[in-house]
Structure formats: C-alpha cells, structure tokens
Chain A
C-alpha cells in the first residue's frame, strides 16, 4: 500500500552550510497517527516545516500519497492535501473565529472544501465563539481552531507541531482526544511532540529523531517501555552539556 506521507533522506536547514536535517527519513501509513519524538534541537519541527515547504530541502524527497511534493511552495501544500498546524501563533489573532475558517475555505477548491458546519460539529467550543476575535480564545480553543482551519481543506495528512505546548495536562487530554476523532474521519496524522507520554498514548507508531536523523522507530505501545528511548533522550542531553 502507498504510504500517506514519506520523507526520504531529507537534508535541509535555514542557512546554507548549517544543516539541521541530516538525511532524515520516515513513513506514515494511511489512517495512522505517528508521533515524531526526539530531544530538544533534534530537528523535529524543522522536519515538518521542511515537509510543509517552509524550510528549504537541499536533497532528498517528500512524497505525499505517491506524488513528489518536494519544493512545492508552502501556499500550494493545502491543494496537494498536506495540512500543517504550526506550534505557536497558529491562528490569525486579528480575525474572528469564523473569518479564520472562511479564509481557509475560500482558498481551497470547492470539491475539497469541508463544510464549516462539520468543523463546528467536531469542535462545539468554536461554534459558541464564532464572532470572537481569535486572539481572545483560550489556549485550548486556539489549538482547536488551528486544527479546524487546517481540516477545512480536507488534508490527506495533517502535521501538527507540538499541539500540547502551553496547555494544562487536562487540556492536552481534551485536544488529543479531538485529534483521535479527526483521525477517525479519515485523516492521517503526524504529530511532533515533546510530551512523550501523551503522544505515545494516542499514537499508533513513533519515530525518534536525534541530530537530524531517525534513530528509533516502532509501535507506540512498545516504545513506551523501551529503555533505548530514555538512552536517546539522555544521550542527547549529555552531549549537549
């Protein structure tokens, strides 16, 4: 079966000569939730940003459902079927909740456009706040709006950069529960996380990135008790100091 998303030997970074990704590879099967883990500075965020077209890819390929999307401009990615929710400032704070979703909907061709009603059904919290300026939403609601904004374009694969950042443990649970519901509507999910425990709890599989390359990969349930996990995190910490 074709992978929903495949990253093959990608090298890349913000500045020439300073690679952050050093031949990173991973594959996500359709319908999976895959957690992308790794110590600080491993290049997890850079990897999803590179896939989303926000960071230059110097070599290697990004393949979405069999189509090579390497080097496609960031604003075309929604049309290719790749959704991305950045870590911080991931909603347009000066637009209302409704405008955030309307903008995303207007930018996508009709056949791919998911009705806003579906979004409001999936995230009832947002329904009650339609007219509110997004900048005034609570942290959890912002995260929901960011996900809903990406879902409007019916992505085949949704990448999220640390959706748990800045949320209370209780809210992390709520947001991740929603992500499961999103997956159940047929969206494949790649999740960058610092919160290993929470991520492994909802993920099917996980990939651990260290220094810009994948070092460990396996079923989430197995990795949760794998001693090599701790070694990779601690090892990186030891090298850093």
Chain B
C-alpha cells in the first residue's frame, strides 16, 4: 500500500511536471527562439483551461458554456482561444520596442484574472468551474490507474509538442526566426515580414500554454482564478531560466527541476511550520524561488544546460 502511495504521488508529480513542461516549451519558442518576453503566461494558460472546461463540461444554469463536447474538441478550443488572445496582444505590441510586449502581456494577464474573478456568468467567479470531465474516467476510475493513464497522455502531448517544435525550429521558418533574433540588420531587412514571423511564434507559443491549461483542467477536474496567479508565470520563467532558454531539453529539464524544488520546499513548509504560520511560509517559499532566479541570472546566465551552440554572439562594431 505504502509503495502504491509513493508511486501514485510520483505519477501525480510527473503529470504536473509534464504540464509545466508544455508551458515551458511554449515560452521557450517565444523567448528562447524568438526573443519575445511574455509576462502573461498565467493568463494564456487560464484562457485555455477555462475554454476547454466550458466546451466540454456539463451544462450549468448559472453560466454559459457546458456544451459537453468531446475532450479533444475542448483542447482544440483551448488552443484556439489562447491563440486569439495572443493575436490581440501581439498585434498591439509586437511591432514596438521589445519591453512593451512584456508590459502588454502583463496587462492581459491582469485583465484575464479580473474576468475569471468577476464574470460569474462565464467563469463561475471566485469559485471557478467544477466537475470538468476527466477523460476515460468512466472506464479507468479516478485512482492510480487513471493517474497513470493521464500521465501517459500528458507525456504523449509533451512528446508531440517537442517533436513539432524541433521540426519547426529546424525548418526554414525557424532559421528566419533565429536570424531575426540575432541580427537586427536581418530583422530590419525583412521589415514587416519580421513582425509577422514574431507574431506567428508568439501565437504558437501561447497556444501551447492554452493546451497546457486544458491538460491541467481535465486532470484536476476543477479550476478557479487562484490557479492562475502571477506566481504561475514566474514558475514557468524559473523553469526556462534554470534549464537554459533556447534549448527544448533545457526547458523540460527545468520544468522537472523547478517543480521538484517547489514541491519539496512546499512539503517542508507544511511539515515544519504550525498551521498559523503556513501563509507566511508560503510567502517565504516564493521569496526563495525569486532569489534563485535572480541568482541564476547573475551566476549562470545560460542555465543548467545552456543554449545550444547554434547561436553566434555578436562582436562589437569595429571601426
């Protein structure tokens, strides 16, 4: 029994790590390969999670949605919804200086958070959406076997996303993307087309985040605004930075590492601190992770695995 509990926890842990890895892959496409700074990860994940929940969930007289569509349709809808949100942000901010994208994505995440909290007719408000269908739960139950099956599903999605991204980055499209990131001259000579390439990369990355949101929603079975706080954005950034951006393996490794650190430190706080101090302990946990990110940026700017050697560095202008 003891062993099963450990295995079950491990499956649980790996499902979350896998979902985070999908988000990190999306962010890696944006930041690692295109140099786009997205501070609204949590928002795009939330859009995906809510979209899939609304499309696949049972009808609820209190709000719209509950179409009861198949889960796969929910996932497609999640990617579409996040893609549309990304399109709106991208069109407004991508043609401008790069840090405006950071500010705008930060803004959209704040607005999405407001909508999830307040638009009860759509999102159920602070209590969120319950009884989101779990795929094949009718056949497999909701115990260890189902967790294991869902882990397989998450890994399959992760593998597919990885494979697609590797293909994409190696394609002519990916080469143009790198050229734009590394060489301002190349970017300038492409002009408007460079903006189009950036926008495509941004939208695809956000669609992956939306898909990850849907994976999350159907695993846990309920979602609420507090699942998509800015800390989520920060965790995914920590994963990418720890693993090394510009490197898909790094993104996945970072997801596992940071999620492990997060889970262990969270567990320690629950074990060691009295109930009254739990909230303060959780705050301290975030402080430590924030410090970790800062330290890695300063001490090991290329992350644990580092960037793949395809990137050339620019020499200063000789004259």
Contacts and interface: CB of A to CB of B under 8 A. Distances in A.
Contacts of B318: 13-14, 20, 41, 43, 46
Nearest to A55: B316
B319 A18 contact: no
B281 to A, nearest CB: 45
Interface residues of B, number: 6
Contacts of B313: 15
A149 interface: no
A15 B315 contact: yes
A50 to B, nearest CB: 12
The prevalent SS among residues of B at the interface is loop
A45 B319 contact: yes
Contacts of A14: 315-318
B91 to A, nearest CB: 31
A179 B318 CA distance: 26
Interface in B252-272: none
A41 B313 CA distance: 19
A61 interface: no
Interface string A1-19: 0000000000001110010
A194 to B, nearest CB: 10
A44 B316 contact: no
A38 B171 CA distance: 43
A161 to B, nearest CB: 8
Contacts of B315: 14-15, 18
A20 B313 CA distance: 17
Interface string B280-319: 0000000000000000000000000000000001011111
B316 A43 contact: no
A14 B313 CA distance: 12
A45 B318 CA distance: 8
Nearest to A18: B315
Contacts of A41: 318-319
Nearest to B318: A20
B73 to A, nearest CB: 53
B66 to A, nearest CB: 58
A44 B318 CA distance: 9
Interface in B169-203: none
A33 to B, nearest CB: 21
Interface centre among B315, B316, B317, B318 (most CB of A within 10 A): B318
B3 to A, nearest CB: 55
Interface string B11-41: 0000000000000000000000000000000
Given A14-B315, A15-B313, A15-B315, 9 more contacts: A13-B316, A14-B317, A15-B316, A18-B315, A40-B319, A41-B318, A41-B319, A43-B318, A43-B319
20 contacts: A13-B316, A13-B318, A14-B315, A14-B316, A14-B317, A14-B318, A15-B313, A15-B315, A15-B316, A18-B315, A20-B318, A40-B319, A41-B318, A41-B319, A43-B318, A43-B319, A44-B319, A45-B319, A46-B318, A46-B319
Interface of A: 13-15, 18, 20, 40-41, 43-46
